Amino acid sequence: MDRNEAKARIEELRAVLWENSRKYYVDNAPTMSDYDYDHLMRELEDLENEFPEFYSPDSPTQRVGSDLEDGPAAQQGFVQREHRYPMLSLANTYSRTEIEEFAARASKLLEGREFSYCCELKFDGTSICLTYKAGKLVRALTRGDGRVGDDVTENVLRIANIPHVLKGDYPDEFEIRGEILMPYSSFDHLNQQRIEGEDQPFANPRNAASGSLKLLDPDEVARRGLYCTLYHIPAQSLADDTLSSTHSGLLEKAASWGLPVSEYNKICHGIGEILEYIDYWDTERKKLPYATDGIVIKINELEYQRELGYTAKSPRWAVAYKFKAEQALAKVLGIDYQVGRTGAVTPVANLSPVLLSGTVVRRATLNNADQMAILDIRIGDMVYVEKGGEIIPKITGVDLSQRPEDSLPVEFPLECPDCHTPLQRGEGEAKWFCPNTDGCPMQIKGRLLHFMSRKAMNIIAGDSTVDQLYNLGLAHTPADLYDLKASQLMTLEGWKEKSAKRFIDSLQESVKVPFERVLFALGIRYVGEQTAKEVARHFGDIDAIAAASEEDLAAVKDVGDVIARSIFEYMADGRHAIEIQRLRARGLKFAVDGESRSVLSDALSGQTIVVSGNFSVSRETIKDLIARHGGRNSGSVSTKTSFLLAGSKPGPEKVAKCRDLGIRIVSEDEFWTMLPQGSRISNKDESEPTLF
């Protein structure tokens, strides 16, 4: 790989990893398996080592993923507080050889001195940092971004196995860290309730634990059946360093004060015992009532831990060995083809029920036609099923030795299973699509469901309501929903006064949803929650988005050419303009509120600005400032451009075009003088402080 290729790949990997880290830690709805995520992270680490010139303190290899929600503090439910000692992550591997290498390195660094390892389970939940003062639990912080966390003390006080008051001979003040888990039994119960209430179930116990910990109602937290296990006392947090000379000794003390510490920790001497522990738990963990995803190996002597120290992201004295996702064998009973709201057709296999990571699996996705063909999957086959990041597990292989003799290859359908329109597949697309956007019932219902979903307009209704409204011809597009009347709903089968009122109230409530969520709710292809947020903040209102060129759209943070084209095409379609007009007439928000845009001034109002080159702060920051001072960002120079803001090394074509058109070129220094006094920010203000 040459330098340019490496640079491009590094940028791509950083973007993909941050996006997924957000989905994992903030949304609690990952779309990538841990295994795939860890592999991409490793690829990035390797590239950054090979090309150190592309080092960045902002790389996901240098910073822990953050569970903090962005936006103004007022919108967040929790106070954020600084950690006294950064909360770090762990280096991880799926390779036993790398565990051997870790042990060999440790022996070498400690030069023949005797030491031991503390081997522990790696609990798959969400981390927590507890502070006890005078024996009382006074604070509980989530990991946050490692530097500051959300104060969830009120919620943690409602977790049954966390003591409010300690017993015995505890130190006056100390911190202890661990994991909040949701046992499988609580998880199954919660998801059952959510399905009945037509809420989206959680993909796995980890997401459920972390979502539950961030609830704003402590009573509801208490009902969620969470569980805590503690595994680390930062030795710096203890005034008295004679308490114990080992990590396991400190944990034993913690247990004697009444704190929940795992009973499965084991002191190991040498790599042989470590590997035995790994092998034992690889199978035994399946019997545990909660999820674990590996084991953690820690050097046990605190003195040696201090000597080995930390990298920016993790301790050098510990490593996690992660188990590959659990697999199970199940029989393929049939294959359904689901048509999503975008028209994409996804094959889904119906399976004989099988227990996988603590839950019963009956369906698994096959992704697309190519994957089906590669696996040559057949009805009656025994297949390997694995849980990735999504709710529906995936099929990863076929056990050919068990294939029935008379089985036939499965043909991917040529037409839409719902509306029978011939399917199409664009060049370079992995999926087949039903092109009947306006007439295909599955697509129409899918769009309505998306519009109403919790992260979009949060309108309380589920599949059956949408089916009914669609079948009766009462709702085709989201705007139709707002024409419904309680009196009309009450005449329909299954509706009562109360349910009709609840539905209408929830529709009325939804008009308060901020613009960024309305934009997401519209269901523009590739525009997820985060992209909608960026686009909304960048342009401010729907008219500016509709007026934007593809280049203007591509100038938004995280928006590439494909997304820009998709938004542009959506806005250019007259039917969408009418739909937006109808929704607007019903009072939905099509402009950002003052607060989330946080306008700083109108210093650049009426100016269309093209940004090019490198600046003393990031280009994103410059663009954000332009928008917040009333200016408009544009990706390309045209006669409409007010000026080109050129940092060092601006694009030569842009500069040439400005010269041709007689457009002014403004330097960074001059730019700062255009903003109100005191607006200049320096690199220091925008970068995150590095840990350690």
Answer positive or negative: Cα dihedral of 372, 375, 378, 381.
negative
The answer to whether the CB of 335 falls within 8 A of the CB of 413 is: no
Q: Which stretch binds ligand IVH (CB under 6 A): 87-95, 109-117, 501-509, 569-577?
A: 87-95
d(CA 480, CA 475): 5
Q: Which stretch binds ligand IVH (CB under 6 A): 84-92, 129-137, 584-592, 624-632?
A: 84-92
d(CA 86, CA 144): 10
Residue 343 gets the label, from left (phi > 0), alpha (psi -120 to 50) or beta, of left
Nearer Cβ to ligand IVH, position 318 or 416? 318
- Of 595-654, binders to ligand IVH (CB under 6 A) are none
Min dist. Cβ of residue 275 to ligand IVH (A): 18
Hey, what are 573's tokens? 């379609």
* Contact pick of 320, 383, 416, 456 for ligand IVH (by CB under 6 A): 320
Nearer Cβ to ligand IVH, position 310 or 384? 310
The DSSP call for residue 496 is -
d(CA 618, CA 632): 17
Tell me if 88 contacts ligand IVH by CB under 6 A: yes
- What is the per-residue binding string for ligand IVH in 178-207, x denoting contact by CB under 6 A? -x----------------------------
Is residue 108 part of the annotated active site? The answer reads no
Tell me if 170 contacts ligand IVH by CB under 6 A: no
| Residue 545: half-sphere exposure toward Cβ, Cα within 13 Å | 32
Nearer Cβ to ligand IVH, position 231 or 503? 231
Q: Does residue 443 sit in helix, strand or coil?
A: helix
Hey, what are 220's tokens? 């509801």
* Contact pick of 6, 90, 243, 490 for ligand IVH (by CB under 6 A): 90
- Given the residues 122, 214, 253, 445, the one annotated as active site: 122
Min dist. Cβ of residue 265 to ligand IVH (A): 8
Nearer Cβ to ligand IVH, position 153 or 248? 248
d(CA 90, CA 320): 6
Tell me if 24 contacts ligand IVH by CB under 6 A: no
Min dist. Cβ of residue 94 to ligand IVH (A): 13
Min dist. Cβ of residue 173 to ligand IVH (A): 20
Q: Which stretch binds ligand IVH (CB under 6 A): 315-323, 387-395, 492-500, 661-669?
A: 315-323
- Exposure of 452 by Cβ count < 10 A (0-12 exposed, 13-18 middle, 19+ buried)? buried
Q: How many residues bind ligand IVH (CB under 6 A)?
A: 15
Nearer Cβ to ligand IVH, position 88 or 449? 88
Min dist. Cβ of residue 149 to ligand IVH (A): 12
Question: With the CA atoms of 425, 427, 431 and 436 taken in that order, what torsion angle do they form, in degrees rounded to the nearest 10?
Answer: -40
The answer to whether the CB of 643 falls within 8 A of the CB of 607 is: yes
Residue with tokens 């280009």: 619
Min dist. Cβ of residue 240 to ligand IVH (A): 21
Nearer Cβ to ligand IVH, position 213 or 518? 213
Hey, what are 448's tokens? 């309505």
Report, in angstroms and rounded to the nearest whole number, the Rg of the chain calculated over CA atoms.
28
Min dist. Cβ of residue 433 to ligand IVH (A): 38
d(CA 210, CA 152): 11
Min dist. Cβ of residue 636 to ligand IVH (A): 43
Print the SS3 string covering 505-539.
HHHHHHCCCCHHHHHHHCCCCCCCHHHHHHHHHHH
The answer to whether the CB of 635 falls within 8 A of the CB of 555 is: yes
* Contact pick of 89, 338, 359, 468 for ligand IVH (by CB under 6 A): 89
Min dist. Cβ of residue 80 to ligand IVH (A): 18
Q: Which stretch binds ligand IVH (CB under 6 A): 85-93, 513-521, 522-530, 574-582?
A: 85-93
Residue with tokens 């999504």: 390
- Of 229-248, binders to ligand IVH (CB under 6 A) are 231-232
- Of 255-314, binders to ligand IVH (CB under 6 A) are 296
The DSSP call for residue 679 is -
Hey, what are 56's tokens? 């960045």
Nearer Cβ to ligand IVH, position 182 or 563? 182
Q: Which stretch binds ligand IVH (CB under 6 A): 116-124, 487-495, 669-677, 681-689?
A: 116-124
The answer to whether the CB of 615 falls within 8 A of the CB of 638 is: no
Min dist. Cβ of residue 179 to ligand IVH (A): 5
Q: Which residues contact 623 (CB under 8 A, 6 or more apart)?
A: 538, 555, 557, 611, 633
Nearer Cβ to ligand IVH, position 295 or 563? 295
Hey, what are 692's tokens? 């350690």
Nearer Cβ to ligand IVH, position 145 or 179? 179
d(CA 100, CA 270): 9
Min dist. Cβ of residue 36 to ligand IVH (A): 16
d(CA 160, CA 175): 19
Nearer Cβ to ligand IVH, position 87 or 524? 87
Nearest to 151 by CA among 171, 162, 137: 137
d(CA 641, CA 633): 9
Q: Does residue 373 sit in helix, strand or coil?
A: helix
Strands, E assignment, 323-388: 327-339, 345-356, 359-365, 382-386
Nearer Cβ to ligand IVH, position 25 or 568? 25
Number of residues in the chain: 692
Residue with tokens 């074509």: 653
Min dist. Cβ of residue 547 to ligand IVH (A): 45
Say how many Å lie between the first and final Cα of the chain, rounded. Answer: 33
Nearer Cβ to ligand IVH, position 178 or 393? 178
- Of 118-157, binders to ligand IVH (CB under 6 A) are 120, 122-123, 127
Residue showing the smallest CB distance to ligand IVH in the complex: 127
173 — phi, psi (to 5°)? -150, 135
Nearer Cβ to ligand IVH, position 179 or 381? 179
In angstroms, what CA-CA distances link 261 with 123, 228, 383?
Answer: 12, 9, 39
Strands, E assignment, 47-156: 80-82, 92-93, 117-123, 126-133, 136-142, 148-150
* Contact pick of 203, 230, 318, 507 for ligand IVH (by CB under 6 A): 318
Min dist. Cβ of residue 224 to ligand IVH (A): 19
* Contact pick of 315, 389, 540, 613 for ligand IVH (by CB under 6 A): 315
Strands, E assignment, 519-601: none
Q: Which residues are catalytic?
A: 122
Q: Which residues bind ligand IVH (CB under 6 A)?
A: 88-90, 92, 120, 122-123, 127, 179, 231-232, 296, 315, 318, 320
